[in-house]
Structure 1
């Protein structure tokens, strides 16, 4: 009985640890890609020049993003950090989304940016940020940013994961193939409304 209790406790502790864990722990100073000789590495391996200049905003869009994650900058693998630089034109929005693997720290470099956050009790938090202000979006919580001003905004973002992931609510809900009858039941709307919500994601 004692052995069984100990096994259950061990399994419970493992699940709690797994739920709280972020990136896998490194057992070396830093990640070295397979097939790479560590002795051949130099300062270039630890350097990214992605943030030189402002992000380009694609034609027809109002937001541009430059990202540095472990996918594009391998040295970040296992270090629990990544970053992004975002440019918001007037009216530009980073729509409601979550980051399942990382907390986000946003710093406004230029302009005025309005942000919003919803916690697990459905409480809404919002703030108008100015240059130099910092806002935290805890891991997994729904949040957004929007430029309600008449001038461009530049912000830098840091994440507590080398690859935090992004789940965009509009695209996930209405562009992933969830059946229409599920949407109609969940949102208590008719087929016409569902079709209208799905339309931007069928292009």
Structure 2
């Protein structure tokens, strides 16, 4: 992947600004939220600093088939984001890597493709599918709550993307794991998909064997 730390920082700054403009979290009545138990008079620049992405570019995706998501800049990892209405993540796609259909119930997502190419798609509330093949430098927006996915179809090169979210805690609802790994009865799923319980059992078994956090 041919880019340097300065360009990555510039990208993060731009996407953070976009997230702030379209922030959807409730407004706060102070400059920022101080975690319980901390004296604001004792805060330093460390409080506003996140180091979660320092090693992200060192990740080796050789032999990996799943997408590597680094949420170095979200409220759970970086408490200063609480109340500020923005967060970010780095997504690394190995060859053939898929980020399965999912939604973010609390935020829109703006994805910037740094390297490689990605096939992306989203489905609106009328059931219409919108797809696009992105190349390095492209941006794509996924509106809040809409189903979407990303796939690296390139047979030779990895892809790297950075996503900005208009919430400090966007949340992620993965369709496959939500439907088939959370105890929904087989007969309910079979009726919903107009298939047999044996098919549902096979789907659950397959997801269980590949499920990871």
TM-score (norm 2): 0.82
Q: Of the candidates 147, 150, 154, which is equivalent to residue 152 of structure 2?
A: 147
- Is the 8 Å Cα contact of residues 55 and 66 (structure 1) preserved in structure 2? no
Q: Of the candidates 49, 52, 62, which is equivalent to residue 51 of structure 2?
A: 49
Aligned mates of 1:160, 1:105 — CA distance in 2? 9
Q: Mark the structure with the bigger radius of gyration.
A: 1
Aligned mates of 2:42, 2:185 — CA distance in 1? 52
Aligned mates of 2:102, 2:142 — CA distance in 1? 11
Which residue in 2 is equivalent to 1:62? 66
Distance 1:194 1:146, change over 3 A: same
- Is the 8 Å Cα contact of residues 62 and 90 (structure 1) preserved in structure 2? no
Which residue in 2 is equivalent to 1:89? 94
Aligned mates of 2:58, 2:50 — CA distance in 1? 15
Q: Of the candidates 130, 133, 136, which is equivalent to residue 131 of structure 1?
A: 136
RMSD of aligned Cα (Å): 1.7
Give the deviation of 1:60 after TM superposition: 4.9
Deviations 1:157-186 (A, max 9, x none): 000000000000000011111111111111
Give the deviation of 1:63 after TM superposition: 1.3
Q: Structure 2: state its 5+ residue gaps.
A: 1-22
Distance 1:171 1:23, change over 3 A: same
Q: Of the candidates 202, 205, 208, which is equivalent to residue 199 of structure 1?
A: 205
Count of matched residue pairs? 183
Aligned mates of 1:71, 1:148 — CA distance in 2? 32
- Is the 8 Å Cα contact of residues 103 and 145 (structure 2) preserved in structure 1? yes
TM-score (norm 1): 0.85
Which residue in 2 is equivalent to 1:15? none
- Is the 8 Å Cα contact of residues 101 and 149 (structure 2) preserved in structure 1? yes
Distance 1:175 1:59, change over 3 A: farther
- Is the 8 Å Cα contact of residues 101 and 161 (structure 1) preserved in structure 2? yes
Deviations 1:84-125 (A, max 9, x none): 001000110100000000000000001111101000000000
Give the deviation of 1:55 after TM superposition: 6.7
Q: Structure 1: state its 5+ residue gaps.
A: 1-20
Q: Of the candidates 162, 167, 170, which is equivalent to residue 176 of structure 2?
A: 170
- Is the 8 Å Cα contact of residues 65 and 96 (structure 2) preserved in structure 1? no
